[in-house]
């Protein structure tokens, strides 16, 4: 268990899975967005003066729908981008790659970043969905369905872990290392050679901040080179990950969908559900194959509100009722993609387009 550090859609005639969201109280403190749940009516949302002021400023802008990645400004200036974590997190680096010169908005949790955009505190959110070593980040797939934000782009970021400690601390002084569980797992060989105790915390940048704040002399953090600069820590070792091909894919989210084009490689993300029965998933995937559309990802997740289906045919068991998240290489401006989704809609019990957006072909 992690230690808490201080500090254009298409839908079928069937109703989609429940997307009811709890009411919330939004509080903007310094540079961090924090949302605290409380019992209030389903149709109201209580917002304090700081957040109301931020929302008022944002409402002076027009909705950020555009044919380009950054909306009003090609260099990202003037755009507020929410991400999970604190300054120095890999997610912040992804946000800055997506929107150079943007104003980043750190959020304590993934769902807070979604709500920050929905409530006009931020213009965009940049959140991770999968890592080449650790796999999918299921929490964000669930939140994509629960919230009504649209995917307007993707960012692929090369993750390069560093071992950070306070100045004067040497490798032989270390007794423990703090970091996010995935970061610790990705640096297994190096940390084993050091014979240190590994302690899991909420995020990599938070580990670096904790080590610096408490001036620890026997503890290091696994975090980014950016975190070392921000928290004035010494880099004891660079690129300590076991696999050099450690890449995280992030999605760029906005209140309004991107107008799809055909001027560059595009990707489209959808989520759908199917009736239980032999060959149903095969039929669903065939709508893309018969039109020569390349699928790049498919992820199944049990429906939270209706996880169990009744037995089919002679089956005596119970089956999960699944949602299927799918990415394919085509723009919604492409007639082939439109026809594929029309075909899928004929037998899908639920279908929603999460976004059609330019593919990221640049890795940093």
pLDDT higher at 68 or 227:
227
**What is the reported pLDDT for 277?**
84
**What is the mean pLDDT of the segment spanning 260-285?**
92
Alpha-carbon span 271 to 276, nearest angstrom: 16
Q: What is the pLDDT of residues 45-70, one digit of tens each?
A: 333 444 444 434 433 333 333 333 33
**What is the reported pLDDT for 207?**
97
For the cut 60, the answer to whether the pLDDT of residue 3 exceeds it is no
Alpha-carbon span 269 to 354, nearest angstrom: 5
Q: Which residues pair with 47 in a beta bridge?
A: 26
pLDDT higher at 44 or 338:
338
Alpha-carbon span 123 to 58, nearest angstrom: 8
Alpha-carbon span 226 to 271, nearest angstrom: 35
Q: Which of 211, 207, 199 is nearest to 223 (CA)?
A: 207
248 counts as catalytic: yes
| HSE toward the beta carbon, residue 284, CA cutoff 13 A | 25
Check residue 49 and report its DSSP letter.
H
Q: Which of 104, 248, 288, 324 is catalytic?
A: 248
Q: Which of 110, 250, 272, 328 is catalytic?
A: 250
Q: What is the pLDDT of residues 175-225, one digit of tens each?
A: 999 999 999 999 999 999 999 999 999 899 999 999 999 999 999 999 999
What is the percentage of the chain residues whose pLDDT exceeds 70?
A: 74
**Cα-atom radius of gyration of the chain, to the nearest Å?**
22
250 counts as catalytic: yes
For the cut 70, the answer to whether the pLDDT of residue 242 exceeds it is yes
**What is the mean pLDDT of the segment spanning 150-164?**
96
What average pLDDT does the chain have? 81
Alpha-carbon span 257 to 276, nearest angstrom: 31
Check residue 60 and report its DSSP letter.
T
**What is the reported pLDDT for 344?**
97
Supply the pTM of this predicted model. 0.77
pLDDT higher at 6 or 163:
163
């Amino acid at each position: 268990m992690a230690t808490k550090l201080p500090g254009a859609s298409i839908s079928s005639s069937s109703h989609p899975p429940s997307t009811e969201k709890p009411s919330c109280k939004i509080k903007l403190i310094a540079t961090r967005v924090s949302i605290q749940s409380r019992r209030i009516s389903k149709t109201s949302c209580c917002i304090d003066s700081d957040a109301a002021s931020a929302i008022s400023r944002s409402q002076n802008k027009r909705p950020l729908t555009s044919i380009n990645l950054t909306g009003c400004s090609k260099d990202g200036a003037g755009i507020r981008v929410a991400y999970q974590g604190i300054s120095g997190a890999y997610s912040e680096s992804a946000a800055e790659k997506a929107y150079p010169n943007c104003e980043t908005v750190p959020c304590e949790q993934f769902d807070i970043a979604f709500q920050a955009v929905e409530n006009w505190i931020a213009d965009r959110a940049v959140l991770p969905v999968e890592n080449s070593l650790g796999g999918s980040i299921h929490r964000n797939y669930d939140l994509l369905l629960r919230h009504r934000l649209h995917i307007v782009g993707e960012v692929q970021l090369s993750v390069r872990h560093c071992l950070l400690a306070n100045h004067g601390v040497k490798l032989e002084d270390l007794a423990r290392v703090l970091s996010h569980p995935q970061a610790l797992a990705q640096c297994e060989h190096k940390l084993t050679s050091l014979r240190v105790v590994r302690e899991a915390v909420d995020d990599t940048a938070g580990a670096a901040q904790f080590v610096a704040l408490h001036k620890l002399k026997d503890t290091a953090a696994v975090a980014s080179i950016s975190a070392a600069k921000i928290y004035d820590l010494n880099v004891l070792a660079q690129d300590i990950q076991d696999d050099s091909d450690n890449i995280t894919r992030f999605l760029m989210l906005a209140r309004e969908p991107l107008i799809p084009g055909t001027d560059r490689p595009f990707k489209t993300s959808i989520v759908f559900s199917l009736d239980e029965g032999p060959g149903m998933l095969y039929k669903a995937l065939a709508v893309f194959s018969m039109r020569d559309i390349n699928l790049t990802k498919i992820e199944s997740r049990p429906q939270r509100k209706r996880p169990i289906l009744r037995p089919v045919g002679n089956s005596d068991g119970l089956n999960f009722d699944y949602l299927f998240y799918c990415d394919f290489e085509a723009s919604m401006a492409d007639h082939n993609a439109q026809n594929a989704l029309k075909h899928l809609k004929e037998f899908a019990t639920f279908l929603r387009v999460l976004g059609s957006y330019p593919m990221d072909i640049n890795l940093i």
